[in-house]
Structure formats: structure tokens, C-alpha cells
Amino acid sequence: MTHKVHLKRLSLTDFRNYASLALRFDGRHVVLSGENGAGKTNLMEAVSFLSPGRGLRRAAYDEVIRNGARAFTVFAEVVGMEDEIAIGTGVDLSEESLSRKLRLNGTPAKSADELTDHLRVLWLTPSMDGLFTGGASDRRRFLDRLVLSLDPAHGRRAADFERAMRGRNKLLSEGRFDPAWLSGLERQMAGLGIAMTLARHEMLGLLTTLMDRTAGGDAQPFPTATLALSGFLDETRGVPALELEDRYAAMLEEGRHRDAAAGRTLEGPHRADLLVRHREKDMEAERCSTGEQKALLVGLILAHARLIADMTGHAPLLLLDEIAAHLDVNRRAALFDRIHALGGQAFMTGTDRSMFAALGERAQYFTVRDAAVTEEAP
Ligand SMILES: Nc1ncnc2c1ncn2[C@@H]1O[C@H](COP(=O)(O)OP(=O)(O)OP(=O)(O)O)[C@@H](O)[C@H]1O
């Protein structure tokens, strides 16, 4: 068994409602309880900055800086996948670029993707509760985050695809039907778009295989999800990537006038949707009850965490905001057992500490009150 990836220390300055904060953790799970608005989610958000991207709220960085301050920092000591590592990150408004700076053991990192060599961070927050009933873009983003956590290059491909698509849309909107220029952009979109689509399919395939292995067992407190992609080149199985690229490039070429009239590109990976069904009930997720939808989402996140653990040899850090709120006592206990069995460290929040009783000695307990965090006896 390899060592457990976990956070040992976390220090914040001018982060949301925290002027300054320093916490130590002993490697067990971390429970944060306290009243609404105390700063529990803010703490989780700080931990989410130990992964590439804009964190669990996808907030603009200037919102993250404490009101009245000019910069925030998050510093963490992590027992990482390779070794112990000191991670420092933050944003300073007095610098000309508003990008997030990152230092690993004091040395500036070239790209935030380097973080994924040390730890993977997954989260589930109440804002994701409407995932199945909301718009396709949220589900696409959710799926892309799943892909990204195993394949950091996915983000670059998506950004490059967007750029090429914007270029094509601009040419079309200006009525410049220059065939050589358009074909160049469309070939680029085809290469990137098909790579993105295949990466998404691969992730769904891996998750499905994993869920098939555990579905229906007695230790199954959460429903199994059946996953599919739709909305763009739905049948890719067995078709060589180059052929798919040719197909998509031809679709784009044919659709130039239609896209020009629509003012956007009507076909592509940016139109795909993640379809989720409750397997045991054989029902679309959006038609399931609120509690069932939450349970499906929890099941998906746990399956994904297991996949990361299997593929990298290390469980991801899990950030579970208000996870226990809508679960009955038995489901809660089963959830904690599943989380613990992953072998990693999970951060969990709730307004009421008693909801975490079943975790017992497996967690450290902290009370959050007005941006002050105190450890309590178990
Ligand atoms: N940039 C900022 N500067 C100062 N305070 C901020 C900033 N951003 C958010 N806050 C404050 O942080 C508090 C919210 O904290 P947080 O979302 O962590 O609460 P919580 O403990 O998770 O509450 P709940 O149980 O309601 O989810 C709010 O009072 C909010 O006004």
C-alpha cells in the first residue's frame, strides 16, 4: 500500500473572510462545522486552489481577495503523490497580470498543471445539486473536470478548440468565406474536437466499467449511474480517429452558411451533453427525486475518486460541502465508510457536527465561527 496523500498544514492570508489562518492536520479526514456564513466553504475553496483552475466556486480572483485587501495567499504543506511538497499560490492586484501565481517548494511553477503531479482534488458542492436539471453546459463542464483530473492536456485542447472556433465564427460573421483560411481553422477544430470527444468517451467508459464492477452489491448505498454522451458524433465506437476528424471537418465545411446565419458553430464538442440515468430505476436522472439525484451525484463522485485512486495509486483529496445534509442516518454512515475506504483524506462541512458522529475517530473536528477555526475533541 502506498502512502496516503494528505494536507498537513494550511495557511491563508486575506482569503475571503479570513485575514489570516493557520491550521495543522494529522492526516485523518477533516470535519468543519459551524453556522451559515462562518467560512466553511471558503476554507474548502482555499483547498481547491491546490488544483489547476479557478477553484470550486469558479470565482473571479478579485472576489476571493478579502474585502479591502490587495492580495490573497494560500500556502499548504502536502504529503503528495511523489514526496512532501510545499505549495504556495495567490493573486496580487498590484501586479499587472491577474493570473494566479504558483510556487512548488519555493520555485515558480511553469504551469498549474504541475499540481496534478502531487495531488488530485475533487469536490462536490450544493451548487452542483441542479446538475441534472440545469443546462447542458454545466454537465459538459462537470464531465470535462472528470477528464481533466486524469488527463491534464484536456484543458489545453478545449482552450485551443475554443480559440479556433472563435476565429472561424469571426470570419463567417464578417462574410469572409476564404476557403483556405476557413479550411485551416476547420481542420484544427476537427483534430482538437475529436480528441476532446474521444477523451470524454474514454472517461465514461472507464467509469462505467468501474461502476459495473460494484453495481448491485450489498454495500451499495448509492444508485448506479448509466452514462452516455449525446449531441455530437454519438457513435464513435470502432471508428478510427482520423475518419472522425474527416467527418467533422466535412460537417463544418458544409455548415458554413448555416453557421454564418446562426452567428455560431452549430455542431461540435461544445454542443455535447452528458446523459445520466438511474440504472436500478431505469429512469433519466432529471426525472428522479431530489434525494435520488443527490445520491446519484455522490455515487458518481465516489466512482471517479476510486478511478483516480486505481489509476494513479493515490486517492484524491475530496472536498464534500454539506454532503451529509439530505441523507438519512444509514446512508450517511455508509457514505462515510465508502469515503474512508478510498484511503485518502476528505474535507467535509456541515452546520451540525452531530451529523458526522458515525465517522468517530476517523476524523479531526473543527468548529468555524466568524472566520476563526478551532479544533474540538472527537
Ligand atoms: N472577498 C471576501 N471578503 C470578505 N468576506 C467575504 C469575501 N467573500 C465572501 N465573504 C464572506 O464569507 C462568508 C461566507 O463564507 P462561507 O461561504 O464559507 O460560509 P459557510 O460557512 O460555508 O456557510 P453556509 O453554511 O451558509 O454554506 C460570508 O459572510 C461572505 O460575506
Q: How would you write 91-136 as a 3-class SS string? A: EECCCCCCCCEEEECCEECCCHHHHHHCCCEEEECHHHCCCCCCCH
Of the segments 77-91, 283-297, 316-330, which one has the largest average pLDDT value? 77-91
325 labeled part of a ligand binding site: no
CA distance 29 to 323: 14
pLDDT class for 195, splitting at 50, 70, 90?
very high
> What would the grid cell of residue 155 be?
484543458
Of the segments 151-160, 248-257, 291-300, which one has the largest average pLDDT value? 248-257
Does residue 47 line the site of ligand 1, with CB under 6 A?
no
Ligand 1 pocket, mutate which of 14, 15, 16 (most atoms under 8 A from CB): 16
Distance (angstroms) between ligand 1 centre and the Cα of 73 equals: 17
Does residue 37 line the site of ligand 1, with CB under 6 A?
yes
CA distance 63 to 67: 8
> What would the grid cell of residue 190 be?
476537427
Average pLDDT over residues 5-18: 98
Q: Which residues contact 43 (CB under 8 A, 6 or more apart)?
A: 10, 12, 18, 21, 32, 347, 349, 368, 373
Q: Is the ipTM of this complex over 0.85?
A: yes
Q: Is the pLDDT of residue 219 over 50?
A: no
Backbone angles phi, psi at 119, to 5 degrees: -160, 160
Please report the atom of ligand 1 found closest to the CA of residue 64: 1
Q: What is the mean pLDDT of the chain?
A: 93
Please report the atom of ligand 1 found closest to the CA of residue 32: 21
Q: What is the pLDDT of residue 215?
A: 67
Distance (angstroms) between ligand 1 centre and the Cα of 42 equals: 6
What domains can be seen in the chain, in order of their start residue? 6-129+301-376 (3.40.50.300), 136-274 (1.20.1050.90)
Q: How far, CA to CA in Å, does 78 sit from each of 82, 86, 94?
A: 10, 6, 28
E strands, 146-254, are 225-230
Q: Is the pLDDT of residue 1 over 80?
A: no
Distance (angstroms) between ligand 1 centre and the Cα of 66 equals: 10
Q: Is the pLDDT of residue 218 over 50?
A: no
The residue nearest atom 14 of ligand 1, judged by CA position, is 37
Average pLDDT over residues 349-376: 95
E strands, 241-320, are 273-278, 283-284, 317-320
Q: How far, CA to CA in Å, does 226 sit from each of 149, 150, 229, 289, 334?
A: 20, 20, 11, 17, 21
Average pLDDT over residues 130-143: 95
Q: Is the pLDDT of residue 353 over 70?
A: yes
Q: What is the pLDDT of residue 220?
A: 63
80-125 per-position pLDDT tens digit: 999 999 999 999 999 888 889 999 999 999 999 899 999 999 999 9
CA distance 153 to 158: 9
Q: What is the pLDDT of residue 216?
A: 60
34-87 per-position pLDDT tens digit: 999 999 999 999 999 999 989 999 999 999 999 999 999 999 999 999 999 999
Distance (angstroms) between ligand 1 centre and the Cα of 56 equals: 14
pLDDT class for 276, splitting at 50, 70, 90?
very high
Distance (angstroms) between ligand 1 centre and the Cα of 98 equals: 22
Q: What is the pLDDT of residue 349?
A: 97
Q: Is the pLDDT of residue 280 over 50?
A: yes
H or E segment to which residue 76 belongs: strand 71-79
Does residue 41 line the site of ligand 1, with CB under 6 A?
yes
- Cα 117 to chain center, whole Å? 16
Q: Is the pLDDT of residue 217 over 60?
A: no
Strands 346-350, 29-33: parallel, antiparallel or unpaired by DSSP? parallel
Ligand 1 pocket, mutate which of 12, 13, 14, 17 (most atoms under 8 A from CB): 17
Q: How many CA atoms lie within 13 A of 334 on its CB side?
A: 15
41 labeled part of a ligand binding site: yes
The residue nearest atom 24 of ligand 1, judged by CA position, is 36
The residue nearest atom 2 of ligand 1, judged by CA position, is 16
Q: What percent of the chain has pLDDT over 70?
A: 98
pLDDT class for 235, splitting at 50, 70, 90?
confident
Model's pTM, two decimal places? 0.92
Distance (angstroms) between ligand 1 centre and the Cα of 153 equals: 33
Average pLDDT over residues 126-136: 94
Average pLDDT over residues 262-284: 95
Distance (angstroms) between ligand 1 centre and the Cα of 198 equals: 39
